[in-house]
Structure 1
């Protein structure tokens, strides 16, 4: 059935691929300029979840792994997926424990963003996790992970220099920096995160 989607007229939808994580749908459309066309959309079965774990001394926990699409190693904050029909916080708690072994006594949602919204419907939710208690990591079979802890300012340096390129990690670090600078975080935690003297030598 023909329908409007903003300035686009959609005449037909055809799912061309699906697995447990993503689907690809091709829409036959009339473009805003009146010409016929197609629009392909990648649909996601899960939220993208990102967790910024911050220790009391201003260090954060990063996870390193090979990312298949780019065929390169990537340092990121803990991330994963959460079912659309479930509480995303439950998924974030699970991902932090599985990837790092840490559990947090305090959780705060600090970010919602659309990832590549010209071709996907993926929504990301980011959490700040504090009051960290160490434990044993339980990575999934698709994950071959390493972890490292470094000061928040050093992680920011790696973003600015291009060593860290993962979109959610970049967004979460800059959001946390803004919050620390603007008094939106616990004062002691913010001071530890922004303490230049705590950076690596």
Structure 2
């Protein structure tokens, strides 16, 4: 479809190594003058649902600065735009949990909020797991929890998991399991 918006001007009003914020003067689809702000991410969101041969998965617990909360999530990380998402997923899984997988399946790709940002993400299913040493980054103080995949899915339903990437990926696993795949 043709873009119904007309951009008169755009300037970056904030920029750091992870994101930029653009302010645009626009003409909206009905012809009115307006403004639009967009957060532009420099990394794609990557999520991994690791499942071992016994039906267990692994969640990562950490304190999230932006929400000022401790959260349980699937292993996640940032993939610099223009680099290989699967390579990033493999690196993040090893860094955060010490797990190495031999089987990788794309679960889904998504936008986290297409009204105010352009953050794009990809989630994978990781299988054929073996355990090595975790290698967390300096900014990460992580706890790893091993639990049945059914319990992790239940955590998305009762609110114990609030992270959108985790919810989407775990619910996709639930849907695939319901469909017998």
CA distance, structure 2, for counterparts of residue 152 and residue 108 of structure 1: 16
- Taking structure 1 as the reference length, the TM-score comes to 0.87
Q: Across the two proteins, how many residue pairs are aligned to each other?
A: 180
Q: Which is greater in Rg?
A: 1
1:8 counterpart residue number: 5
CA distance, structure 1, for counterparts of residue 67 and residue 81 of structure 2: 26
CA distance, structure 1, for counterparts of residue 152 and residue 107 of structure 2: 18
Any residues of structure 2 matched to 1:2-81 within 5 Å, and which? 6-81=3-78
Query: How large is the Cα RMSD of the aligned pairs?
Result: 1.0
Runs of 4+ in 1 over 3 A off after TM superposition: none
Moved more, 25-34 or 11-20: 25-34
- The CA deviation string for residues 43-92 of structure 1, in whole angstroms up to 9 with x for no partner, is 11111100000011111000000111110000000000112211110000
CA distance, structure 2, for counterparts of residue 95 and residue 84 of structure 1: 16
2:117 counterpart residue number: 120
1:158 counterpart residue number: 155
CA distance, structure 2, for counterparts of residue 177 and residue 158 of structure 1: 12
Aligned equivalent of 1:94, options 91, 95, 105: 91
Aligned residue for 2:172, secondary structure, equals helix
Q: Which runs of 5+ in 2 are unaligned?
A: none
2:127 counterpart residue number: 130
Aligned residue for 2:8, secondary structure, equals strand
Q: Which runs of 5+ in 1 are unaligned?
A: 185-201
Q: CA deviation at 1:183?
A: 2.5
CA distance, structure 2, for counterparts of residue 7 and residue 43 of structure 1: 20
